[in-house]
Structure 1
Amino acid sequence: MCYDAVIFDNDGVLTEPTLLEVEREAVRRAFAEFGVDPTTEAIDGVIHGGLTNLRRICGIHDVPVDEFWSRHEAHAATTQLECLENGMKPLYDDVHALDDIEHPLAVVSNNQHATIEHILDVFDIGDRFEVAYGRDPTVEGVRVKKPNPHYIERAMDRLGVESALYVGDSNVDVVAANRAGIDSAFVRRPHREGYQLAADPTYELDSLSELPAVC
């Protein structure tokens, strides 16, 4: 099928996923600004538990949610920039395949927008993408992240296209594409070996090198 654009998730697609301990460190740093030393369970609840859990954990520690989250996003961007610069969060080798795709390209990620900007800058790949969105550093940004199609639809509006292929590595990517009414390509990276898909993607790939033929 011919598409008007190709939109990419970042973590696990363009760059290797951020290590869990790096994500935990960002949460610790944010809580430390409020004099709180959270348990690992609470930290992981913030990372994986969604907006409801975030509000619950902040309530337990009497920390204002909006202010905490703003500081968390800043720390998360800083810790990930450190990883980008020291080689702990590298670009996948097959990203070069994007050079063979003639459609407009975009990035839509659940990672912080500042982190996406850092990635494009550190790896000097910003000129390959006409649009790049990470989540806004606000609680509202959390609410509308994937599987909500908000940022995908926003990217398509910005590109001025009606048909697109979304390339991701998780269930939330496939579901977000479905909700946006577009096709999806699931990249089964090594960290997704044995990963169970809750919905069927339009394509399943082993590498981005297969993408030009699909497009």
Structure 2
Amino acid sequence: MPARIVFDLDGTLVHSAPDIQAVANAVLAGEGAAALSLEETIGCIGSGAAIFVERMRALRGIGDAEQARLLESFIAQYESGVSLSTLFPGMRAALDGLAATGHRLGLCTNKPIAPTHALLRHFEMSDLFESVLGGDSLPVRKPDPEPLHAVLSGLGEGPALYVGDSEVDAETAARAGVPFVFFTEGYCHLPHDQITAAARFSEFAELPGLVARIHAGN
């Protein structure tokens, strides 16, 4: 039976931090605040747009009273932030290969759904995923397991895997009772030896073999 394989997006399939950085810095420029570095930007990614803006504000000493206004500004510009993003090497070939062998692919991200679809359209990847949820698609977001369960439900029956790059993804998979496959070249904020995973990889050429091995173990 083919597997249901669900992926995170930012830092897993797409190196999107440069676009997120550009949007954040446009918002900060309007406040007369210093720009975020790429490293600072990556440190803010992973828990959804609202938490990103909270972390961004904290780095620049902007008060809590400005959260709603700055979040609105960030979201308004977020959907157009696609031009600086790049696919991780070998990712598209690996996913095309998995789909060609019958596996069903889904996407579960904390990125808001509108910029998620914008990024998928930009890279002509929308047709790869049968089930897609963003951070604002449900009342809860990762690491709550409900978004992952919902995406998996949209993929039918069969063994399940979750592929991601962060401690949030690892916790989501654990809480959902789904084996986690860890992409080590993304935006993880913890030492990699603190991430519990069924398998880990640094190059997408490794992924189909890992899926086959884990699937066979089921």
TM normalised by structure 2 equals 0.71
Q: 2:216 is matched with which residue?
A: none
SS at match of 1:11: coil
Q: Are 1:166 and 1:184, in contact at CA under 8 Å, matched by a contact in 2?
A: yes
Tell me how far apart the structure 2 counterparts of residues 162 and 66 of structure 1 sit (CA, whole Å): 41
1:51-200 aligned within 5 A: 51=51, 54=54, 60=63, 62-63=65-66, 65-78=67-80, 80-84=81-85, 89-101=86-98, 102-136=102-136, 144-161=140-157, 163-189=159-185, 195-200=191-196
After TM superposition, what 4+ stretches of structure 1 lie above 6 angstroms from structure 2?
Answer: none
Q: Which structure 1 segments of 5+ residues have no match?
A: none
The one-letter amino acid paired with 1:74 is A
Aligned 8 A contact 2:135 2:142 in 1: no
1:39 CA drift (Å): 5.0
Letter in structure 1 aligned against 2:32: D
Distance across 1 between alignment mates of 2:22 and 2:122: 21
Q: What TM-score do you get using the length of structure 1 for normalisation?
A: 0.72
Question: 1:36 is matched with which residue?
Answer: 31
Q: Tell me the distance in 1 between the aligned counterparts of 2:176 and 2:142.
A: 11
Counterparts of 1:125 and 1:27, CA distance in 2: 25
Q: Tell me the secondary structure at the aligned position of residue 10 of structure 2.
A: coil
> Is the aligned partner of 1:9 residue 2:23?
no
Once residues 162 and 94 of structure 1 are traced to their aligned partners in structure 2, the CA distance between those partners, rounded to angstroms, is 23
How many residue pairs match? The answer is 198
1:104 aligned partner, one-letter code: R
Q: Distance in 2 between matches of 1:156 and 1:202?
A: 18
RMSD: 3.7
CA–CA separation in structure 1 for the residues paired with 2:121 and 2:53 = 33
Structure 2 unpaired stretches of 5+: 213-218
Q: 1:195 to 1:72 in 2, by over 3 A?
A: same
Change (3 A) 1:115 1:36: same
